[in-house]
C-alpha cells in the first residue's frame, strides 16, 4: 500500500470541518430567510370580521396618523403591489368601522376596481394584514 492511497487524518479533519461549516452556514441562511417579514393575507372571514357595523369613509381631515409605509414596502417586495404606482396616488380611500376598531386603507392597483386593502387594528395600532378586493366580483359590477 502506497502513501498516496491512504487518506491522511489531517485531510479528513479538514474535510469534516468544511462539511460541518457548510451545513451550519446553510442552516443560518435558511433561518434568516424564513424569519423575513411577509405580509399576511387575510381570508374573507377574517376580513369581514373587521367590518363591524357600517363602514364610514374617512376624509383627509379625520385621518389619524398611522404609518402604513413599512407595510406597503413589504407588499411591494412580495410583489403584491406594483412599484409603478406613485406613492401619492397609492391611497384610494380610507374607511373606518362604526366601532372605530378597524380601518381599511384601500390601495390602488394597476387593474380597475381592484384594490389591496390594508386592515389596521386601531386599538393595537398595527396592521393585521391585507385583503385583495375585487369590487367587480364583490359587488356584481360586471356587466
The Cα 135–Cα 141 span in angstroms is 7
Mean pLDDT of 105-122: 93
Query: What band does 50 get if pLDDT is binned at 50, 70 and 90?
Result: very high
Closest CA to 131 of 45, 49, 42, 57: 42
**What is the model's pLDDT at position 127?**
93
- Cell numbers given for 115: 384594490
- Residue 122 Rama label (left phi>0; alpha psi -120 to 50; beta): alpha
pTM recorded for the entire structure: 0.70
53 neighbors 97 (Cβ within 8 angstroms)? yes
pLDDT at 23 over 80: yes
101 neighbors 94 (Cβ within 8 angstroms)? no
The Cα 55–Cα 138 span in angstroms is 15
Mean pLDDT of 117-122: 95
Query: What band does 2 get if pLDDT is binned at 50, 70 and 90?
Result: low
Domain map of the chain by residue range? Answer: 3-34, 44-138
pLDDT at 142 over 60: no
Mean pLDDT of 57-77: 83
**What is the model's pLDDT at position 72?**
93
Amino acid at each position: 500500500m502506497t502513501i498516496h492511497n491512504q487518506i491522511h487524518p489531517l485531510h479528513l479533519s479538514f474535510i469534516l470541518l468544511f462539511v460541518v461549516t457548510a451545513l451550519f452556514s446553510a442552516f443560518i441562511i435558511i433561518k434568516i430567510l424564513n424569519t423575513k417579514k411577509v405580509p399576511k393575507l387575510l381570508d374573507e372571514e377574517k376580513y369581514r370580521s373587521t367590518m363591524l357595523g357600517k363602514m364610514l369613509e374617512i376624509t383627509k381631515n379625520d385621518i389619524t396618523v398611522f404609518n402604513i409605509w413599512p407595510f406597503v414596502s413589504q407588499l411591494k417586495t412580495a410583489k403584491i403591489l406594483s412599484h409603478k404606482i406613485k406613492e401619492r396616488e397609492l391611497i384610494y380611500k380610507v374607511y373606518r368601522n362604526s366601532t372605530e376598531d378597524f380601518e381599511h386603507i384601500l390601495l390602488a392597483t394597476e387593474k380597475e376596481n381592484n384594490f389591496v386593502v390594508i386592515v389596521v387594528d386601531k386599538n393595537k395600532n398595527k396592521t393585521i394584514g391585507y385583503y385583495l378586493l375585487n369590487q367587480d366580483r364583490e359587488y356584481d359590477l360586471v356587466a
